[in-house]
Structure 1
Amino acid sequence: MTATPPAPDQHRPGRIMSREMAEQPAVLRRLLTKGAPEIRETARRIAARQPRFVLLTARGTSDNAALYAKYLLEILLGKPCGLTSMSTTTAYGARPDLTDVLVITISQSGGSPDLIDSTRAAREAGAVTLAVTNNPDSPLAAVSEFHIDILAGPERALPATKTYTASLLALYLFVEGLRGVDGTRAAARLPELTEGILARREEVRVLAGRYRFAGRMVLTSRGYGYPTAKEAALKLMETSYIPALSYSGADLLHGPLAMVDNVSPVIAIVTDGRGGRALQPVLERLRDRGADLVVIGPRDQVDLASAGFALPAEQVAEELQPVLEILPLQMLAHEVTLARGQDPDAPRALAKVTETR
């Protein structure tokens, strides 16, 4: 019997990551239709507990989603919010009083031991615990009082793409639910806009040519765009191995600006709103230094830069723009990695579930 030959692209580098990026419109639609009612109900039940403070727990890509949630909680809800240092609990054995504190743990797999242990400890210390995962049967979901399923489906590529955007939307819907708002209305156009951005791959491929031989990169933003800068830097480092440094625009001016020259590329994520306006003095300083500045954001900002990718940001609220902003940067990490002769599906030294303690 003659064996059936493999499909032509079965072993093509980057095939899995590319396919999962393309699934994002469907994932967002699924969250808006099937996931939103349960998220609203979870938010209603937690809001009734009247948490006095919020702590966010995560690692890696999920940590960038947690930072996004921090902006949402503080701006939209006016709720004090912090990012936890898990080692205080897992390594040092600290047991703070978390009575009436909402602890949100974000993890795509829900399987990392330190996330599980710190969440269990938080619940024992009196916290209201919520797990946000892509696996409702995970150990993290089991130790948490509440759970939100981001409904992204299996993610096989090591770089997280669809689980990141799904986490952002799920967290947005949850925070809106905490304040009694149906977030699906404001987010309704996201799947359609996502499809439009993902269709512009050739633009990103041209942009990737600027970074094929880059020795390092700097990414910056302010406000809601800052988590996008951090996530994009992580994607570039874990796929192409280019050292990528991410800074708040305000922090960039406090020293790191000195390393910016006309050789090292700078990518600025400019949200259409207050965050983008707050970034303007930073962009002016970068242009004054002759930086190779690429802008991801509104067309008028792209036109002032060396190059960029224009987003339809004016069609969604500022707090939802991060779902769109990360898409060309995911594609950029994919294309730069391929241009450098590497496989973005299988970064060296990485595993899908990272077991930190």
Structure 2
Amino acid sequence: MPVTQPFPGGETPGSVMAGEIAEQPAVLSRILGEGAAAIRETARRVAARRPRFALLTARGTSDHAALYAKYLLEIRRGMPCGLTSMSTTTAYGARPGLTDVLVVAVSQSGGSPDLVASTEAARAGGAITVAVTNNPSSPLAAVAEFHVDILAGPERALPATKTYTAELLALYLFVEGLADGDGSAARVLPDLAGRVLDRGHEVRALAGRYRFAERMVLTSRGYGYPTVKEGALKLMETSYIPALSYSGADLLHGPLAMVDNVSPVIAVVPQGRGGEALRPVLDRLRDRGADLVVIGDEREAATASAGFALPTAGVAEEVQPVLEILPLQLLAYEVTIARGQDPDAPRALAKITETR
């Protein structure tokens, strides 16, 4: 069983998952220092083809990174963008015409057969295909026209942590590169990520508070929405606590009725337009007597039932998700330890999920 105190005081992480969480500042630095130029060059070559819209395809954790890229493409580039249903190709044999469409397939391993098959079909249909993976020798990288290496290094724990933030940063640099941007807003991330991870003891206190939770609800808006989807997945696959994630707007359309003062609600509140859009939702949650945990905005974190303020003052909203997920990764880890379970080996899971 992993030790219960992996982070404070510079201690050696007590599990594979803990160690990989702790690696993230170094991974972010590596991408910025060793990978950014290649990502910009790939983006420049793609932009020269003048794609008319974009489709993103992924599964699991990578699907949440793809959703983040959808927000980036639509907001930063004004490019219409959608998330694909791979089964239309793999199960139903559909072969849509995709001439001048940018198809971005995101996968940690690059080994899932349905991702490979759908990307191969997209390229045959005329798409500009880009694989974003942690394995440049993967089958997915081989069938795509372009490849973006996220440079996360081997990830041995079943719950993906460092590959998720690496995907976020690589996708941000790629989208910025489509308009010849340098992605300078991301330069602060390695240092700030280190500062967040140094506060693991604060998350451990939250884990003690919620170790017996029977259900959790997570909510956010805008760039924070992919974060709560990924946070919910981490909680479910490690601690087995049912965790439901909603856009704040969707939460008000029915699911708010299940909110009570027993099950915690975790709100990721970005500093920026997403946070502003979420504030009426926070008011409604307080009216419901919710046990509200706020991650993000300092003012909102100070007035919640519990909070974890992030050092995001002056940080561009579009890169804040790289920091927002870190407390949720730590929470999933610490709750799992507090419940007497092993976060490195969630039951019934494999590192490469071979969906078809």
Question: Which interval holds the TM-score relative to the shorter structure?
Answer: over 0.9
Which residue of structure 2 aligns with residue 222 of structure 1?
221
Counterparts of 2:255 and 2:48 in 1: how far apart (Å)? 44
Counterparts of 1:270 and 1:59 in 2: how far apart (Å)? 25
SS at match of 2:56: strand
1:210 aligns with 2:209: yes
Counterparts of 1:282 and 1:331 in 2: how far apart (Å)? 25
Counterparts of 1:338 and 1:287 in 2: how far apart (Å)? 30
Please report how far the alpha carbon of residue 303 of structure 1 lies from its aligned counterpart in structure 2 after TM superposition.
1.2
Moved more, 346-355 or 299-308: 299-308
Structure 2 matches for 1:1-357, cutoff 5 A? 15-183=15-183, 185-357=184-356
Please report how far the alpha carbon of residue 13 of structure 1 lies from its aligned counterpart in structure 2 after TM superposition.
10
Give the conservation status (yes or no) of the 8 Å contact 1:294–1:308. yes
Which amino acid in 1 is paired with 2:137?
D
Give the conservation status (yes or no) of the 8 Å contact 2:53–2:79. yes
Which amino acid in 2 is paired with 1:192?
D
Please report how far the alpha carbon of residue 14 of structure 1 lies from its aligned counterpart in structure 2 after TM superposition.
5.8
Please report how far the alpha carbon of residue 186 of structure 1 lies from its aligned counterpart in structure 2 after TM superposition.
1.3
Residue segments in structure 2 that go unaligned for 5+ positions in a row: 5-11
Q: How many residues align?
A: 348
Give the conservation status (yes or no) of the 8 Å contact 1:214–1:242. yes
Give the conservation status (yes or no) of the 8 Å contact 1:13–1:343. no
Counterparts of 2:55 and 2:185 in 1: how far apart (Å)? 26
Please report how far the alpha carbon of residue 56 of structure 1 lies from its aligned counterpart in structure 2 after TM superposition.
0.1
* Per-residue CA distance 1:125-182 (angstroms, 9 max, x = gap): 0000000000000000000000000000000000000000000000000000001110
Counterparts of 1:232 and 1:211 in 2: how far apart (Å)? 15
Which amino acid in 2 is paired with 1:238?
E
Give the conservation status (yes or no) of the 8 Å contact 1:269–1:296. yes
Counterparts of 1:298 and 1:14 in 2: how far apart (Å)? 30
Percent same amino acid at aligned positions?
Answer: 78
Please report how far the alpha carbon of residue 315 of structure 1 lies from its aligned counterpart in structure 2 after TM superposition.
3.3
Moved more, 310-319 or 261-270: 310-319
Give the conservation status (yes or no) of the 8 Å contact 1:14–1:345. no
Which residue of structure 2 aligns with residue 4 of structure 1?
none
Residue segments in structure 1 that go unaligned for 5+ positions in a row: 1-6
Counterparts of 1:218 and 1:85 in 2: how far apart (Å)? 26
The 1:8/1:293 distance shift into structure 2, 3 A limit, reads: closer
Give the conservation status (yes or no) of the 8 Å contact 1:20–1:161. yes
Which amino acid in 2 is paired with 1:249?
G
Give the conservation status (yes or no) of the 8 Å contact 2:232–2:243. yes
